[in-house]
Chains A and B, each alone.
Chain A
Amino acid sequence: MSNHLTHESEARMGQHQIAAAAAQPAAPELEAVEFEPLSRGALIARGALGAAALYGAIAAGPLVRRAFAQMGGGDVEILNFALTLEYLEAAFYERALDQVDLGSETTEFAETILGDENEHVAALEKTIKSLGGKPVTAPMVEFPFSDEAAFLKLAQTLEDTGVAAYDGAAPAIESKELLATAGSIVQVEARHAARIRLARNQPPAPNAFDPTLTQRQVLKAVAPFVKA
Chain B
Amino acid sequence: MSGTTTPAEKDSALTRLTRDPISRRRFVAAAGGTTAISTLLVACGDDDDSGSRANSDDMSTTTEMSGSNDAIAQFGKGDVGILNYALTLEYIEDDFYRDVIGSGLFKGADLELIRSFGKDEAAHVAALTQTVRKLGAKPAPKPKTKFPLDDARSVLELAATVENLGAAAYLGQAPRIESDAVLAAALSIHAVEGRHAAALNTLTEQSFVPDGAFAKPADAATVLDSVQPFLVG
A residues at B contact (CB < 8 Å): 25-28, 72-74, 108-109, 111-112, 115-117, 119-120, 123, 163-164, 166-172, 174-181, 183-195, 197-198, 203-205, 207-215, 217
The chain B residue sitting closest to A28, CB to CB, is: B33
B residues at A contact (CB < 8 Å): 1-4, 17-25, 27-37, 61, 113, 116-117, 119-120, 123-124, 127, 167, 171, 174-175, 180, 183-185, 187-192, 194-199, 202, 207-209, 211-217
Q: What is the CB-to-nearest-CB distance from B33 to chain A, in angstroms, rounded to a whole number?
A: 4
Contacts of B194 in A (CB 8 A): 186-188, 190-191, 194
Q: In the assembly, what is the distance between CA of A8 and CA of B196, in Å?
A: 39
* Contact indicator A167/B191 (Cβ below 8 Å): yes
Contacts of B174 in A (CB 8 A): 170, 179-180, 183
Which listed residue, A111, A175, A179, A205, touches B192 by the CB 8 Å rule?
A205
Which listed residue, B27, B31, B197, B213, touches A72 by the CB 8 Å rule?
B27
Given contacts A116-B213, A171-B30, A208-B123, contact A183 B175 (CB under 8 A): yes
Q: Please list 25 pairs of residues, one from A and one from B, whose beta carbons are closer than 8 Å in the complex, sorted by A's number.
A: A27-B34, A72-B27, A117-B213, A119-B214, A168-B30, A168-B31, A170-B174, A171-B31, A171-B184, A176-B20, A176-B22, A180-B18, A184-B215, A186-B187, A186-B191, A188-B211, A188-B215, A191-B194, A194-B199, A198-B202, A208-B192, A209-B36, A209-B185, A212-B31, A217-B32
Q: What is the CB-to-nearest-CB distance from B116 to chain A, in angstroms, rounded to a whole number?
A: 6
Contacts of B216 in A (CB 8 A): 184
